[in-house]
Amino acid sequence: MPFAKAVIPKAMRVAVYYRNSDIRLEERPVPKIGEGEILVRIKASGICGTDVMEWYRIKKAPRILGHEISGEVVESNSPKYHAGQRVFVSHHVPCYECKYCKEGHPTACETLHTGNYDPGGYSEFVRVPKINVDHGVYVLPENVSYEEGTMIEPLACALRGQEAINVKKGQTVLILGCGISGLLNIRVAKWKGAKVIATDMEKCRREKAKTCGADEVFDPKNLPSIKAEKVILCTGVLPAVKQAFQSLDRKGTLLLFAIPETDIQLPTVDLWRNEMTVTSSYGAAPDDLKNAIRLIEEGKIPVKDMITHRLPLAEIQEGFRLVTDAKQTLKVVLLP
């Protein structure tokens, strides 16, 4: 049965970021799509922890943020997709033509770092450029909800990060910080068969880390002396960086999944003497996104229980407060 043609308004609401405490609801024209493009009505949009990193985001303000979206195709100029399809849309896609892509490093691609959809995920509609349509749109499986669709990109980032440091069965993995990225990394590491030790300042997050499968959970002030083959930094507080190095075993690897606002000091003698590695991971590639969708679809890595708050777009300021406060909050999802 053909889908009924969607009624597309001329104007839409968007949330414009000026700073964490100043997000304004404004009205903008609904974007017009060109050849090979699609128009998606956003059904759910997650607030990412990086969006509340004011020191990082304010440099490009004012702008419309939001990159964890799922929605419904309402108009298509592409043979690949049609109106009525439920989709997850990736904001960053590689070009597959530069030297980084050809060498198997798509997240280092300049196109991936600079591309986006129009105008951003904190809106009612987005225009998806042709390159994103070709390499960054995925039909949601029937058993994956729109809300779960907002977790695809964060999970894919965790998958890519742990692939980069080669987490293996039987290894000890220390995860510092049990916000949403830390919890996803806990579940990925357990899925890989690792022993997981996790830390967080907040009791409620430590309790959630246990339900996510962490073998041992500590307040960072009470972390015993341990040596882990892999340490994943999922918080930007500087004391955690020092603790990460102290807990890293010989030949171990530290993954900077999150970063502090200021540059960090490296214990160069320890790094040299004990042959330690420090590396980073940024974003996710199409293969990571496909794997994330499959793992959610098959129930191997649950994500819905991490969503603690659901708000309308008009309450995005409260959403940012909840994420910034980080007391009883894990994932905040906006439902435009």
Looking only at Cα atoms, what is the longest distance across the chain? 68
Phi, psi angles (nearest 5°) of residue 103? -90, 5
Which domains are present in the chain?
A: 11-154+283-334 (3.90.180.10), 166-280 (3.40.50.720)
Q: If DSSP codes are grouped into helix, strand and coil, which group holds residue 115?
A: coil
Terminal-to-terminal C-alpha distance of the chain: 27
Q: Output the six-digit token pair for 232.
A: 């994943």
| The pLDDT of residue 1 | 41
Q: What is the pTM of this model?
A: 0.95
**pLDDT string in tens for the chain (336-residue length):** 445 567 899 999 999 999 999 999 999 999 999 999 999 999 999 999 889 888 889 888 999 999 999 999 999 999 999 999 999 999 999 999 999 999 999 999 999 999 999 999 999 999 999 999 999 999 999 999 999 999 999 999 999 999 999 999 999 999 999 999 999 999 999 999 999 999 999 999 999 999 999 999 999 999 999 999 999 999 999 999 999 999 999 999 999 999 998 999 999 999 999 999 999 999 999 999 999 999 999 999 999 999 999 999 999 999 999 998 877 889 999 998
| The pLDDT of residue 4 | 53
| The pLDDT of residue 5 | 64
Those residues whose C-beta lies under 8 Å from the C-beta of residue 13, and which sit 6 or more positions away, are 25, 26, 27, 123, 124, 313, 314, 336
| The pLDDT of residue 2 | 46
| The pLDDT of residue 246 | 96
